[in-house]
A and B are shown apart, each in its own frame.
Chain A
């Protein structure tokens, strides 16, 4: 006896109330507060801000707790909120040369103006689980020193003085920076658009592609010219005022890869650049982005496009994890209508196939009998 399946509405409501229950978990355990997430899961918050393209720690923390710690879901929540916000202007380009630096390392020079600053890094920690942390041990105050007045020039500027590295990319005078949240992507794309897409691209995807370039799929001989993490000031041009208005500061991670380049028909032998910039502290993402950026410049530099990481349409079309997760997961939506059509086709083709096979079998049997 067939019972018509109805009540999708009630099922959805019930599923969501179960979700809310599971999200909260055991009620005898205190609920997470947003400031706890902001303070103690800061790198997760940074990833959500960076790939969600919205610099707001509290909203990112809310998204993380609402998504039960599923960061791609949290990024999606932030994006869906961000897209409804009015756009009242574009900030001036940030100057990472004047960054209030907390970490800065260079792999190309042993020492350099401003020095090497390790900052809060996992590097050189031994990855041993810490039972004291589980026991809630107190954490000692860190040693801090006064900020130095000495400027910390970017390594690329030091190399540029000798003319050994290509200049920073220039856009034509009348070039208006694109906005991938307001214009559909078109291929091929200018580098400003590409960098925007990479900056919000999925960390894991870019990591894998960057890794592939190191393993020989479009090898581009990279050195970390510099990674710096710290606060930079944001400024906005307001038409009524003769000067740019400071809006506050944002924490960013910048990575400048310096890549060996033997020269081509289009460019002389020199070091070339790969660039990564993301919100918050995310070295892995910034480095992967810089590797991908350099790989994607293949055409511009006259290199052969031979690997996935150099293929702009492939990389940029698939780097957005909100798009990717939506489309992959839509496969669990009902497809019975199309499946029915395919069932019908396969049944007909099977029937024809059997009809075609059977006379042969009959023939074989007769031969065997003879």
Chain B
């Protein structure tokens, strides 16, 4: 039987890490520009965060503290799987606490707790090209970016308004970075777009299948595309989180029964748990009922 090799720290070999770091540095130097890189096959499927995992694997060191979220939650299956992967191959400390993490890998959300200088937010990106659904050809979209030819995107947004009375894009809402490149913020809800603007944290984006890396350095202008008479606005919720009573946070709708009963709870589980520990209670929080033991792991 062939000797199955032992794996290097953080899985990737050092040559590969160097190649990816070069792509990251180039991305930081040209904010919002998609840098092609020789993405590797990873031991998880394409489309399941291989880009983010490669970026994290290239920048992580033994002293880092890693947090992984999916849909804002630390305990969704794919987040659990990626966190376990780095625990295994890099033996790093992991956390669910946003503030104490040095690297946060995310899919679809930016944490509610404001990020600070020195933190790195790594996004998993499925389709890095914001123009892809307007123009399927890479050869064309690269030209459009080079010429700063973004008319097509504005026409699309305008047609939305003409047809629906509003811009009908709710996630992966396009942004302009530092006044130059139009960038896909990954499929985060547009609610999170303002958090990218002048964030003190470094934001890195990895798209493994599409073989692209891009970056937003700290304190960079990130502006959501809009029109003067139709300014960009984020989603609002009519009610606070049912568990921690938080307002102005992104909420998930949880179906309670098959009679239309539902409740809204924080999508960011760490934020929600912290608030409850601090004594905030929503109208459906278990503390308001008798069965606090029901918060123990289900099933």
Binding site for B on A (CB under 8 A): 1-12, 56, 58-59, 76, 79-86, 181-188, 313, 317, 322-323, 325-330, 333-338, 340-345, 349, 352
Contact = CB atoms under 8 A, between A and B. Distances in A.
Given A2-B254, A326-B209, A341-B190, A333 B78 contact: yes
B189 A349 contact: no
B46 A323 contact: yes
B289 interface: yes
A8 B138 contact: no
Interface string B148-175: 0000000000000000110010111000
Contacts of A85: 5
A58 B170 contact: no
Chain B interface size, as a band, is: 35 or more
24 contacts: A3-B298, A5-B298, A6-B75, A7-B297, A8-B77, A58-B2, A76-B45, A80-B42, A182-B38, A183-B38, A184-B211, A188-B139, A313-B137, A317-B138, A322-B46, A327-B47, A327-B209, A330-B45, A333-B77, A335-B71, A335-B108, A337-B252, A338-B187, A341-B171
B164 to A, nearest CB: 6
- Top 7 A-B pairs ranked by shortest CB distance? A326-B46, A330-B47, A326-B45, A341-B170, A327-B47, A7-B297, A184-B36
B46 A6 contact: no
Contacts of B298: 3-7
Interface of chain A, main secondary structure: helix
Indicate the member of A11, A85, A334 with the most B CB atoms within 10 Å. Answer: A334
Contacts, number: 161
Contacts of A10: 297
A343 B46 CA distance: 27
B37 interface: yes
Nearest to B294: A3
A184 B170 CA distance: 31
Contacts of B250: 337, 340
B80 A326 contact: no
A84 B5 contact: yes
Interface in B196-247: 209, 211, 235, 242-243
A331 B194 CA distance: 27
B215 to A, nearest CB: 17
Contacts of A317: 138
B263 interface: yes
A336 B76 CA distance: 11
Contact of A2 (B1, B45, B191, B265): B265
Most B C-beta atoms less than 10 A away, residue of A82, A313, A326, A329: A326
